[in-house]
């Protein structure tokens, strides 16, 4: 018989003898199959165990693994064409454990026997470092079996107590508390059992220990029930005749109260007073010009209700997400939540097939970066891009929504937009600008926001572009309140409306709370009868909403209040397990508490184990009531619980852990996760959020960790366009690296510092630092130093010969120390080609661009080589065009195709400029103008200043050829001002040459003199030839 033991340290046995399977991944496959009773699809296993391998290679590896396993365990492994499983006669401890616990029994011996199977945590000590998905699954299973063990031990204790075996009952509960000592209701039972065993001193010691534990971990005293028990122990008045609840009752399942997920028809108020706003939303939905529909108003005014009513009436698939104040530093969280709705919508299986067939692999890879759970048997895994690009990520979401919209109208709704992170706002703006013409509605709701907030910047930009429709909700009019009152009580509508209006002031949320209060106090019956005497005597409540919510909180039991406080700390939406464990009560007590909170209308079920607060105002009142010191402790408790629950996949919750530990006044513990969260944000190109996380990490790190945080922060600041701050940060990192004597880190920081100097045109400092790395750094750093030195010299433009020498040195070093690094070779040859082109040596430039192209095409890491490959196509096409070579067009179009198919949006303006110039040279002004305009639109959206200048100049040339001299002068002058401000010497000289023939002779001579000075300083032969030709024409004019 084949036996698999997964609880505790895993091991295998065949016919009673230990079985050794050498390869870790082969053992993991057996463990995974053993934990599942049903056969598993091969595709599922390929995605889990070999996620990064090509499909054919992964299949071959799986076949080899299965061959070895069949040799080891024979017929115990069942292999079908599409599925794998273990034979039905295989003995697996977790299956026995779960099946025996599921059988109701009053026999403690049978239950004890089942619990003895739990020899330790699931797959204790086993992991797969190269398969985070497997480790994540293990962590989930580990927590599940721990919960089953807890339930079993609690049930066993109850059985022992019923049978009078008090010592055995206490021992079982002590085992349960070893998992989590903060289960106060379990501790309370232990105190009672100590007393019943005659161990009064033990009961007192346990109570004292509990008091200290609750104070240190949660900042709360014991519940009144626990204190009353202690008083009875102290006074020796505890009633020991009361019998515990029968242990035969099975634990209730979580989520059985799903009927509370939405207000019922009897409790939800009529939707009224928003007819004009609803009509405006419907009209905007039919408008071809895509705008963001922004619903604005104070808290409780009904923004979310209006959005939900609109979505329900639209018949569209709703992708809904919300930003949360506690999660505002997590990049793209509301977009991620909205896309998660896809998996749960009834149409997903059909839509997934459409996505698979219509969405390009490059966009699917980006979506997987944002939302790995969408990857599965239907939505194939794609290689993840090596470099983060926020524009590519945004376009992937845009492409996904556009594909979905071909099958069904889509509404994307983001609630509480005032708390959105900068990356989410950037993506939302991008989607608004690129979804025109498709049946897509973009909807958001927000409270009033500061004029200096990131949301204000988006609103201003969209207003200028006429891409925003603002709907400001005001309080309900008296007639609207009368209509609501009439729906509640036809006979007493007017006195009820008067009372509601006086107390609510027309705020829908307070209206709903008042109706709830009236029903609970007996002032309003379900049939509509109103107790007028009670109504008239009910005073107008100052601060009505706070007082109403506060009164509901005061009526809660202590256990319910514990769960509520923990949930407030977690956020607007929360999971059962995290809330119950953070609250410090058992699963059974937490379930009772949730039922109480649902019945009180404070939370609602989202289905399964997820719950949400009814309104953010409830959270705000509960937070203020608990107080700041208590919440600091709760943040730390939530962080520690989440840390324990997420073992094996901590990186997925690093941002939350950093936030909770930070709010819990534990900066050192927060720092480690802030570093991880910063890296996660950087992988999503969410630069603002990455910067915030790295800055948080700096507050709690020292030594090498602080060096990592400073270096990472400096590098991200470069990508975020904050070069000055980057330089300051990297200088701090350099000082620290030098004090630590870390030579490799010194080189890394110095090279990053060089990169930060280039956008600031601090070329002399960049070249001096590159020289220092070359002369004193590690040999492998010298190549990068020469490359950056040559690039800086080329950009400065004063000595192209020096630039060429350093790039040639980088080329030689590449061939010497990294001959197989074709990505670096492609980059170096490209830069050498650019210098040759500036010198006017077009034949050499073309040859170098061809070599760059060849290196990029043969590079093993195609993803890293792609930018150089695309740019080589572009520059090769442009210079072939200057040589009147007809092949220019095909190279340009191939480069444009590569850029578009691989989501390299930032490179497309360069290619569109080249395609436009070729068309312009052929006299096709319409195509040229169209391509230049497309490129300029992308450059402006992505803020690429150099390309904005270049493409504006290109459009000036179109105007010139059309004879529109005034327009041409305006565009070229505007482009020249930009080029001069950016200190782009070559482009500035070229624009002056284009501009000169359009100006009066004396102005033309001045402009040409400036162009000559730039060309002579940089030894730009072709530019000098053009200047001389124009100067000659002026002399003979």
Taking only the tens place, the pLDDT of each residue in 891-910 is 999 999 998 888 788 889 99
Q: Cβ distance 206 to 190 under 8 Å?
A: yes
pLDDT band at 744 (very low <50, low <70, confident <90, very high): very high
For the cut 70, the answer to whether the pLDDT of residue 382 exceeds it is no
How far from the centroid of its chain's Cα atoms is residue 805's Cα? 45
What is the strand order of the sheet 603-607 is part of? 573-575, 610-613, 603-607
- Encode 748-808 in three state secondary structure: HHHHHHHHHHHHHCCHHHHHHHHHHHHHHCCHHHHHHHHHHHHHHHHHHCCCHHHHHHHHH
The SS3 of residue 999 is coil
For the cut 80, the answer to whether the pLDDT of residue 245 exceeds it is no
pLDDT for position 377? 47
Enumerate the β-bridge partners of residue 472.
296
For the cut 50, the answer to whether the pLDDT of residue 343 exceeds it is yes
The SS3 of residue 175 is helix
* Residue where the block lists tokens 């057996």: 30
Enumerate the β-bridge partners of residue 295.
445, 471
H or E segment and range at residue 607: strand 603-607
pLDDT band at 298 (very low <50, low <70, confident <90, very high): confident
pLDDT band at 545 (very low <50, low <70, confident <90, very high): low
**Residue 973 half-sphere exposure toward CB, CA atoms < 13 A:** 11
pLDDT for position 434? 84
pLDDT band at 1037 (very low <50, low <70, confident <90, very high): low
List all residues 6 or more positions away from 790 whose beta carbon is below 8 Å from its beta carbon: 803, 804, 805, 806, 807, 809, 810, 831, 832, 835
Taking only the tens place, the pLDDT of each residue in 348-372 is 778 888 888 888 888 888 888 887 7
Calpha distance 975→981 (Å, rounded) = 10
Give yes or no on whether 2-142 and 656-853 have one common fold.
no
pLDDT band at 544 (very low <50, low <70, confident <90, very high): low
The SS3 of residue 381 is coil
Taking only the tens place, the pLDDT of each residue in 179-216 is 889 899 999 999 999 999 999 999 999 999 999 988 88
Mean pLDDT of 83-109: 88
Nearest to 764 by CA among 796, 794, 787: 796
> At the top level of CATH, which class does the domain 2-142 belong to?
mainly alpha
Nearest to 738 by CA among 710, 719, 761: 710
Nearest to 380 by CA among 350, 356, 344: 356
The SS3 of residue 412 is strand
pTM for the complete prediction?
0.75
- Which CATH number is 275-472 given? 3.40.50.300
For the cut 50, the answer to whether the pLDDT of residue 669 exceeds it is yes
Structure tokens at 273: 């007073």
Between residues 963 and 143, the one the model is more confident about: 963
- Strand ranges inside 662-719, DSSP E: none
Calpha distance 830→862 (Å, rounded) = 16
Q: Cβ distance 497 to 509 under 8 Å?
A: no
pLDDT band at 249 (very low <50, low <70, confident <90, very high): very low
pLDDT for position 1012? 93
Calpha distance 778→578 (Å, rounded) = 49
Calpha distance 677→327 (Å, rounded) = 12
Taking only the tens place, the pLDDT of each residue in 969-1019 is 999 999 999 999 888 888 999 999 999 999 999 999 999 999 999 888 877
Nearest to 383 by CA among 867, 53, 679: 53
Nearest to 229 by CA among 219, 213, 217, 240: 240
> Which CATH number among 1.10.8.60, 2.60.40.3120, 1.25.40.10, 3.30.450.20 corresponds to the domain 918-1035?
1.25.40.10
Ranked by mean pLDDT, the top range of 351-365, 574-588, 844-858 is 844-858
Mean pLDDT of 89-96: 93
For the cut 70, the answer to whether the pLDDT of residue 376 exceeds it is no
pLDDT band at 510 (very low <50, low <70, confident <90, very high): confident
Mean pLDDT of 138-149: 86
pLDDT for position 537? 61
Q: Cβ distance 471 to 296 under 8 Å?
A: yes
* C-alpha separations of 101 from 143, 179, 866 in Å: 16, 18, 56
How far from the centroid of its chain's Cα atoms is residue 857's Cα? 33
Structure tokens at 843: 């034949």
Q: Cβ distance 577 to 563 under 8 Å?
A: no
The SS3 of residue 289 is coil
pLDDT for position 227? 92
Enumerate the β-bridge partners of residue 296.
446, 472
pLDDT for position 246? 39
Calpha distance 719→756 (Å, rounded) = 9
Mean pLDDT of 484-488: 90
% the chain with pLDDT above 70: 94
* C-alpha separations of 471 from 123, 284, 702 in Å: 55, 11, 50
**What is the bridge-based pairing of β-strands 573-575 and 83-86?**
unpaired
Mean pLDDT of 111-119: 92
Structure tokens at 449: 């926001």
How far from the centroid of its chain's Cα atoms is residue 309's Cα? 28
pLDDT band at 686 (very low <50, low <70, confident <90, very high): confident
pLDDT band at 248 (very low <50, low <70, confident <90, very high): very low
Q: What phi, psi does 84 have (nearest 5°)?
A: -135, 150
Taking only the tens place, the pLDDT of each residue in 29-53 is 999 999 998 899 888 898 889 877 7
pLDDT for position 532? 83
Spans of all domains in the chain: 2-142, 275-472, 478-540, 656-853, 918-1035
Q: Mean of the per-residue pLDDT values for the chain?
A: 87
For the cut 70, the answer to whether the pLDDT of residue 288 exceeds it is no
Between residues 547 and 220, the one the model is more confident about: 220
Between residues 564 and 139, the one the model is more confident about: 564
pLDDT band at 256 (very low <50, low <70, confident <90, very high): very low
Provide the 8-state DSSP code for 82: S
Calpha distance 503→540 (Å, rounded) = 6
% the chain with pLDDT above 90: 52
> Which CATH number among 1.10.10.60, 3.40.50.1100, 3.40.50.620, 1.25.40.10 corresponds to the domain 656-853?
1.25.40.10
Structure tokens at 188: 């309370």
**What is the bridge-based pairing of β-strands 610-613 and 573-575?**
antiparallel
Q: How many CB atoms lie within 10 A of CB 53?
A: 16
Burial 312-322 (b: 16+ CB within 10 A, else e): eebebbbbbbb
**Could you tell me how many residues make up the chain?**
1037
The SS3 of residue 701 is coil
Structure tokens at 280: 């405006």
Mean pLDDT of 225-250: 74
Mean pLDDT of 831-853: 92
């Amino acid at each position: 018989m084949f036996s698999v033991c997964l609880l505790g340290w895993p091991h295998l046995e065949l016919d009673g003898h230990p079985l050794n399977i050498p390869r870790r991944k082969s053992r993991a496959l057996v463990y995974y199959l053993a934990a599942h009773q049903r056969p598993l699809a091969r595709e599922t296993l390929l995605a889990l165990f070999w996620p990064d391998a090509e499909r054919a290679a992964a299949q071959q590896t799986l076949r080899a693994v299965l061959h070895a396993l069949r040799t080891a365990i024979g017929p115990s492994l069942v292999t079908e064409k599409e599925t794998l499983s273990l034979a039905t006669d295989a003995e697996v401890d977790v299956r026995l454990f779960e099946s025996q616990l599921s059988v109701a029994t009053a026999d403690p011996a049978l239950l004890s026997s089942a619990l003895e199977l739990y020899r330790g945590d699931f797959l204790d000590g086993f992991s797969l470092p190269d398969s985070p998905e497997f480790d994540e699954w293990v962590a989930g299973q580990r927590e599940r079996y721990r919960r089953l063990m807890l339930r079993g031990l609690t049930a066993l204790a109850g059985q022992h107590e019923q049978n009078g075996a008090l010592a055995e009952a206490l021992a079982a509960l002590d085992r349960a508390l070893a998992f989590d000592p903060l289960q106060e209701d379990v501790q309370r039972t232990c105190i009672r059992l100590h007393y019943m065993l005659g161990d009064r001193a033990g009961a007192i010691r346990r109570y004292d220990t509990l008091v200290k534990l609750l104070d240190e971990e949660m900042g709360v005293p014991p519940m009144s029930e626990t204190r009353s028990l202690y008083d009875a122990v102290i006074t020796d008045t505890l009633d020991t005749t009361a019998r515990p609840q029968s242990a035969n009752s099975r634990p209730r399942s979580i989520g059985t109260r799903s009927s509370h997920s939405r207000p019922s028809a009897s409790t939800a108020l009529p939707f009224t007073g928003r007819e004009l706003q609803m009509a405006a939303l419907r009209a905007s939905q039919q408008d071809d010009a895509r705008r963001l529909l922004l619903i604005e108003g104070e808290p409780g005014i009904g923004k979310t209700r209006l959005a939900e009513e609109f979505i329900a009436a639209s018949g569209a698939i709703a992708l809904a997400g919300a930003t949360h104040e506690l999660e505002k530093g997590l990049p793209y969280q509301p977009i991620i939540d909205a896309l998660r709705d896809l998996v749960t919508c009834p149409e997903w299986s059909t839509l997934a097939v459409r996505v698979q067939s219509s969405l390009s692999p490059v966009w699917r890879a980006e979506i997987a970066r944002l939302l790995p759970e969408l990857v599965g048997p239907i939505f194939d895994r794609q290689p993840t891009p090596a470099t983060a690009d926020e524009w590519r990520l945004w376009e992937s979401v845009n492409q996904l929504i556009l594909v979905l919209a071909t099958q069904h109208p889509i509404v994307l709704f983001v609630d509480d937009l005032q708390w959105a992170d900068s990356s989410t706002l950037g993506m939302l703006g991008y989607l608004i600008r690129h979804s025109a013409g498709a049946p897509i509605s973009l909807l958001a709701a927000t409270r009033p926001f500061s004029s200096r907030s990131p949301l204000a910047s988006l609103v201003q930009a969209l207003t200028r572009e006429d891409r925003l429709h603002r709907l400001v909700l005001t309080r309900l009019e008296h007639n609207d309140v009368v209509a609501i009152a009439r729906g509640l009580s036809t006979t007493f509508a007017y006195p009820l409306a008067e009372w509601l209006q006086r107390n609510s002031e027309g705020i829908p949320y307070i209206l709903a709370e008042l109706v709830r209060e009236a029903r609970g106090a007996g002032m309003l019956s379900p049939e509509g009868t109103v107790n007028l005497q009670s109504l008239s005597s009910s005073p107008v409540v100052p601060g009505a909403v706070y007082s109403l919510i506060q009164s509901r909180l005061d009526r809660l039991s202590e256990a319910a209040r514990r769960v509520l406080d923990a949930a407030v700390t977690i956020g607007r939406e929360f999971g059962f397990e995290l809330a119950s464990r953070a609250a410090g009560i058992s699963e059974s007590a937490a379930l009772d508490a949730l039922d109480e909170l649902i019945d009180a209308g404070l939370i609602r079920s989202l289905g399964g184990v997820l719950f949400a607060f009814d309104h953010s105002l409830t959270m705000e009142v509960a937070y203020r009531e608990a107080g700041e010191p208590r919440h600091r402790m709760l943040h730390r408790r939530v962080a520690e619980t989440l840390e324990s629950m997420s073992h094996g996949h901590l990186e997925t919750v690093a941002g939350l852990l950093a936030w909770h530990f930070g709010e819990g006044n534990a900066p050192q513990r927060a720092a480690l996760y802030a570093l991880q969260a910063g890296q996660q944000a950087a992988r999503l190109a969410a630069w603002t959020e990455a910067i915030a996380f790295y800055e948080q990490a700096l507050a709690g790190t020292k030594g090498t960790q602080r060096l990592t945080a400073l270096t990472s922060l400096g590098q991200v600041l470069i990508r975020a366009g904050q070069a000055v701050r980057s330089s300051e940060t990297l200088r701090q990192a350099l000082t620290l690296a030098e004090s630590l004597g870390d030579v490799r880190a010194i080189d890394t920081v110095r090279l990053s510092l060089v990169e930060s100097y280039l956008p600031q045109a601090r070329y002399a400092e960049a070249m001096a630092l590159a020289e220092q790395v070359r002369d004193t750094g590690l040999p492998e750093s010298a190549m990068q130093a020469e490359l950056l030195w040559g690039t800086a010299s080329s950009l400065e433009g004063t000595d192209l010969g020096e630039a060429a020498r350093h790039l040639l040195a980088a080329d030689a070093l590449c061939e010497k120390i990294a001959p197989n690094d074709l990505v670096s070779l492609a980059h170096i040859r490209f830069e050498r080609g650019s210098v040759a082109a500036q010198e006017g040596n077009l034949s050499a430039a073309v040859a170098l661009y061809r070599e760059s192209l060849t290196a990029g095409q043969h590079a093993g890491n195609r993803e890293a080589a792609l930018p150089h490959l695309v740019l080589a196509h572009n520059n090769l096409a442009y210079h072939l065009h200057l040589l009147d070579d007809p092949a220019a067009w095909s190279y340009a179009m191939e480069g444009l195709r590569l850029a578009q198919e691989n989501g390299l949006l930032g490179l497309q303006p360069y290619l569109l400029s080249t395609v436009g110039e070729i068309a312009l040279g052929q006299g096709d002004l319409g195509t040229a103008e169209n391509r230049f305009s497309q490129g300029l639109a992308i450059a402006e959206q992505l803020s690429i200043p150099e390309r904005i200048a270049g493409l504006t100049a290109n459009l000036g040339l179109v105007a010139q050829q059309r004879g529109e001299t005034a327009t041409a002068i305006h565009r070229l002058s505007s482009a020249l001002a930009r080029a001069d401000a950016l200190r782009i010497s070559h482009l500035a000289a070229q624009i002056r040459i284009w501009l000169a023939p359009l100006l009066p002779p004396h102005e033309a001579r001045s402009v040409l003199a400036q162009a000559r000075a730039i060309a002579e300083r940089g030894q730009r032969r072709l530019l000098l030839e053009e200047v001389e030709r124009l100067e000659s024409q002026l002399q003979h004019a």
